Amino acid sequence: MIYTNSKNETNYIDISDFPFGKNGMQFPVVSLFSGAGGLDIGLEESGFHTAVCVEYDTDCRETLRHNRPEWKLFEEGIKIEKGKMRTRIPGDIRDISVNELLKLAGLKKGETTLVVGGAPCQPFSNIGKKLGKHDEKNGDLFLEFVRMVKGIQPEAFIFENVVGITQNKHSDVIAYMIDKFKGLGYGISHTVLNAANYGVPQRRERFFLIGIKGVENPAFPFPTHFKDTKHYDSFIKDFEVFPIKKFKKWVSVKDAFKKIFKNSEKRSDYALMNVADFVVDRMKLIKQGQNFKALPMEMRPNCWKNGKHQGNDTFGRLIADLPSVTIRTAAYNPAKGMYIHPFENRGLSTVEMAALQSFPFDWFFKSKGRDKVTLVSGGKQIGNAVPPVLAQALGAAIKKQIWAKRSKSLQKQPVLVAEN
């Protein structure tokens, strides 16, 4: 059943009864801007399988290759044009045709269930220059996503990005995509989802635009987790009909860290930022939920004294009993946010960052040509990812709607009666 928020007209579908697990993985996915695989491994648990990946970053491709050698990575560096060979950058989506991508995936147009991906988010992030489509490096990559959907003709798609893309200055980007996708026959919905509401130990909000052929207003997964009853009641206040009141509590930082295997520091993808003794002395004065403002003036660096510093979570200590703040690419650095360990006087390790992103512990992050991942590369791969558990919920919602649509279509088929 579909439940509608009457205020913003967003549809939701209950996924509490969904049979999570790989379920044969008979639904093929073309993954664009795959990153370290967060979206794809989440979709696996909803019964999808990744037929082909496109990823520009060398270390991310190494991570994908290590963990899922059966996934086909598009890395062809040679292209024939007008009878001449030329080199190209592996994973550069601008230089990949629909036909050669489908050929590698072993699929034909119309055979793909899902095209998924999030074009690099930096042009639309609230951190940075906020150039949007005018960003010369990545601002136009959403057009490549549209091109691929148009050529591949999947049954459905998921486009993901930062919340900043919803700002008025970027509204024409969303409007353009909606117009193009509707013209291709997709029903379209878009909203912002909070990962904590789906069992991720992190209060991470992301923008999602989804489309399904034959479904007028596709539904998002109804949240499975809430902070408390008050939070649940606030969420459903604009619903006339809603699922039976059943939910789990948010997964906390403490919950996530309890599940980390012992001796995780021996993993090849474990990295931790070294901090000086005077930085540790500062940490000792910061309680959970506090930040640099709890320090006496004489212990603050100049940039924290003059009042010009923007960032109320800078050099903050995580609250153990709540989901974490958004895990960004430099979440290993306590000076970049509320990233001091809740109990210890240090920053977060890459393993802890991955746990807060809900990555499974058998997923290893790699740096090409190195035995151990570098701190910067590990942080970038983890921080840029879609939390797999959130992706799992999205996959369940889309798959339930595809099932319902296909079932309805079969019911409308005429019954053929054999002649005597």
Q: Cite the active site residues.
A: 121
Contact 37, 363 (CB under 8 A): yes
Two structure tokens written together for 130: 């906020």
> 3-state class of 97 per DSSP?
coil
> Residue 150 in 3-state DSSP?
helix
CB 365 within 8 A of CB 373: yes
- Which residues on neighbouring strands pair with residue 211, listed in sequence order? 157, 188
**Structural element, H or E, at residue 20:** none
Question: Checking DSSP bridges between strand 186-194 and strand 2-5, what pairing results, if any?
Answer: unpaired
Residues 6+ apart with CB under 8 A from 172: 133
Two structure tokens written together for 233? 């009641």
How far apart CA 107 and CA 382 sit, in angstroms, is 30
Nearest C-alpha neighbor of 195 from the set 220, 164, 213, 230: 220
Instruction: Specify the 3-state DSSP secondary structure of 382.
Output: helix
Distances (CA, A) of 13 to 5, 177, 395, 412: 11, 24, 12, 23
Give the number of other Cβ atoms within 10 Å of residue 17's Cβ. 7
Selection from 398, 381, 394, 399 nearest residue 34 by Cα: 381
> Which residues are CB-neighbours of 165 under 8 A, at least 6 positions away?
121, 124, 132, 173, 174, 207
Q: Rounded to 5 degrees, what angle do the CA atoms 314, 385, 132 make? A: 75
